[in-house]
Amino acid sequence: MTGPRTKSTAGELRDAGLRVTAVRVALLETVRAGDHLDVEAIASGTRERVGHVSLQAVYEALRALTAAGLVRRIEPAGSPARFEGRVGDNHHHVVCRSCGVVADVDCAVGDAPCLAASEDHGFSIHEAEVNYWGLCPACSTSGST
């Protein structure tokens, strides 16, 4: 285990009320080792760890892990859903309009949810999601638009 985590992946699954399976453990480890991965990349990484796993099983595990708050699903406009292991801190993202690469951006200013809505319409707001759009350094220097 790397970083400050002291609990095993299996222990985290149990604490979240999820059944521990080899696929769920491998999938969670794949997401955490990756960088805003799409479902195909997660499936590939999971297969490298445990062998054959169906795409349907990957979708089901991602749905369970997302609902349990162990992974976060983001959907930049015009891009397939992506998943990340950084959860609970209400961070934002910067997305390249040319190649689609995504990077984390810490909370803009202040306490979560970082941004105050000009009108809450009676909602109790818990989170703000912001995507900044532009060109990554590689696309900026290559002349992509």
53-77 pLDDT per residue, tens = 999 999 999 999 999 999 999 998 8
- Statement: the pTM of the whole predicted model exceeds 0.85: no
18-59 pLDDT per residue, tens = 999 999 999 999 999 999 999 999 999 999 999 999 999 999
Overall fold of domain 88-142: Dna Ligase; domain 1 (3.30.1490)
User: What is the token pair recorded at 126?
Assistant: 């818990």
User: What is the token pair recorded at 72?
Assistant: 């976060």
* Model pLDDT, residue 63: 97
Cβ neighbors of 13 (< 8 A, separation 6 or more) are 19, 20, 24, 25, 28, 68, 70
Pick the CATH number of 9-74 from 3.30.70.3420, 1.10.300.10, 1.10.10.10, 1.20.1440.230: 1.10.10.10
Domain boundaries, the chain: 9-74, 88-142
Percent pLDDT > 90 in the chain is 59
CB 27 within 8 A of CB 70: no
Residues facing 73 on adjacent strands: 83
CA distance 108 to 92: 8
* Model pLDDT, residue 3: 43
Of 43-52, 116-125, 135-144, the range with the highest mean pLDDT is 43-52
